[in-house]
Amino acid sequence: MKLLSMARALDLPPRGIISFYGAGGKTSLMDALGGELLSLGFRVVVTTTTKMFEPRGMKGVITGSFDAALQGLAELLPVERRVYLARGLLPGSKLQGVPPGWVERLFLTLSDRGACDYFLVEADGAAGMPVKGYAAYEPVLPEASGVIIPVLGADALGLKLATGKVHRPQKLKDLLGLDPGSILSEESIIAVLEQMVRLGEKQAPFARIAAVINKADLMPEAKTVLKLAGLMKQAAKKPSCLLFTVARQENPVRFVFSLAAEEGERKGLTLVSCIVLAAGGSSRMGVDKLSLPLKQSTVLGETLRHVAEAGFKEIILVAQPGYAPPAGLPVLPGRVDKIVENSRWRTGLSSSLKAGLAAVSPLSQGALFMLADQPFIPGKVLDALIASYNLHLNQVTYPVWRGREGNPVLFDRRTWPLLMALEGDRGGRSILDRVPAAEILGVETACPGILQDIDTPADYKKLARRDYQA
């Protein structure tokens, strides 16, 4: 599964009803998600409870009979694997939707037979506009939806209500208390999303809500993304997460913010994973350097102790298969959430980068790569990198000591496809020439440890006597 895919960021259940409502790209998002699920081997039914355009290049079942719909889907899904369902044809190449009760009964029956994994449901219309006001009968969500996805277009930001680009502008005007000449601000966008969350909770009370602002490529400044995410986090009614997407791109999810209550105590809006790279062969040392004694622990133990002091979403240790520390040495102090075995470690550093990235949380926006043989970088230095990243959302953030660039480096998810394409003994810095200069930020520290790693016996002898502090 691709790291920046819709399916991964939404953290979907193994099967279920996924319903979309709102404006600004529902159909494109459904198509993107359906394609991802199809490529993963799942069987998908695309349908609507109102009306939608007939999906291109897709076969379907059109019938006003529930029994005929069940039979038609059961026959077509094993062959096509992604099909559409409608109750009738409408003028303008549109399909008439099916009742919400059909969706629930069909999904339960087909999934119990092992014939279908997901129903993707378009639950309202917006006439191609980026934002809409809601009629009393909207949306039309199946009550059994497992995930519901309210959608807005980023191009709604800055629109005037009277421009003709708002669906049902009077309804939106009444909701926001604005006059027709008013411009939709960030606060207005969040107020619309709040209403959509309330509507979703009412109709599908057991669903997880993942909100999406689509066409994120129209938001060139990260500060706008951060402002919207901050306002959504403070809202009285909020989804479990907020995604910023470009539905028609190969890697559609640009930003993801977890808004769940259990994440409320962390510093900053984003979640950052730490990937500790510990799968090297210690060829220049001649022995396993990470297990060498250091202070009251080991080289790796000290590195992990500092990492555990910082505010990471999770800590992932990438090691050789079957790695075990020498008896009696406390090599894994603190918190290590995942241990990933890299069976391809001999092929070079890039294999460990990719193994670690593949294990990060779907809700992580950033990943910091910590070299396991750099045990002299305190947690407060790592927190300084996280704080700078949360303030600016640069694609690359690294520490600096007296004008010299060091490690570790924090990479935003927008760079992850470049990292996943690396081969051989190439590290993350090798992609910097492909990242815009304005998206790379060095953070000044008082810690020389960012420049020091332990590679040789001489390094160990010299550095083990020192105690770098930021």
d(CA 470, CA 454): 19
Structural domain contains residue 432: yes
d(CA 312, CA 8): 20
How many beta carbons lie within 10 A of that of residue 456, not counting itself? 13
Total domain count for the chain? 2
Residues 382, 434 within the same domain: yes
Q: Which residues contact 336 (CB under 8 A, 6 or more apart)?
A: 276, 304, 315, 316, 317
Residues 370, 324 within the same domain: yes
Structural domain contains residue 55: no
Residues 171, 313 within the same domain: no
Residues 257, 278 within the same domain: no
Structural domain contains residue 83: no
Instruction: Please list the pLDDT of the chain residue by residue as tens digits (470 residues).
Output: 688 899 999 989 999 999 999 999 999 999 999 999 999 999 999 999 999 999 989 999 999 999 999 999 999 999 999 999 999 999 988 999 999 999 999 999 999 999 999 999 999 999 999 999 999 999 999 999 999 999 999 999 999 887 788 999 888 888 888 887 889 999 999 999 999 999 999 999 999 999 999 999 998 789 999 999 999 999 999 999 999 999 999 999 999 999 976 554 456 789 999 999 988 766 566 556 677 777 778 888 888 999 999 999 899 999 989 876 555 444 455 578 899 999 998 898 999 999 999 999 999 999 999 998 888 999 999 999 999 999 999 999 999 999 999 999 999 999 999 999 999 989 999 999 999 999 999 999 999 888 887 767 677 777 676 654 44
Residues 335, 282 within the same domain: yes
What's the CATH number where 294 sits? 3.90.550.10
Structural domain contains residue 429: yes
Residues 227, 315 within the same domain: no
Residues 433, 301 within the same domain: yes
How many beta carbons lie within 10 A of that of residue 438, not counting itself? 8
Residue at 111: amino acid letter: S
Check residue 18 and give its pLDDT.
Answer: 99
Residues 277, 220 within the same domain: no
Beta bridge partners of 192: none
DSSP string, 131-164: EEPPPTT-----TT-SEEEEEEEGGGTT-BGGGS
- The parent domain of residue 385 ranges over 272-462
Closest CA to 131 of 156, 154, 150: 156
Residues 449, 374 within the same domain: yes
**264 in Cβ contact with 276 (< 8 Å):** no
Q: Which of 218, 235, 263 is the endpoint of a domain?
A: 263
The DSSP secondary-structure symbol of 176 reads H
Q: What is the pLDDT of residues 274-299, one digit of tens each?
A: 999 988 766 566 556 677 777 778 88
Q: What is the pLDDT of residues 83-101, one digit of tens each?
A: 999 999 999 889 999 999 9
What's the CATH number where 35 sits? 3.40.50
The token duo for 194 is 């709040």
Structural domain contains residue 154: yes
The pTM assigned to this predicted structure is: 0.91
The token duo for 180 is 């027709």
Place of tokens 């009393």: 136
Residues 254, 363 within the same domain: no
Residues 278, 255 within the same domain: no
Residues 313, 243 within the same domain: no
Q: Which of 241, 263, 285 is the endpoint of a domain?
A: 263
Q: Which of 230, 263, 296 is the endpoint of a domain?
A: 263
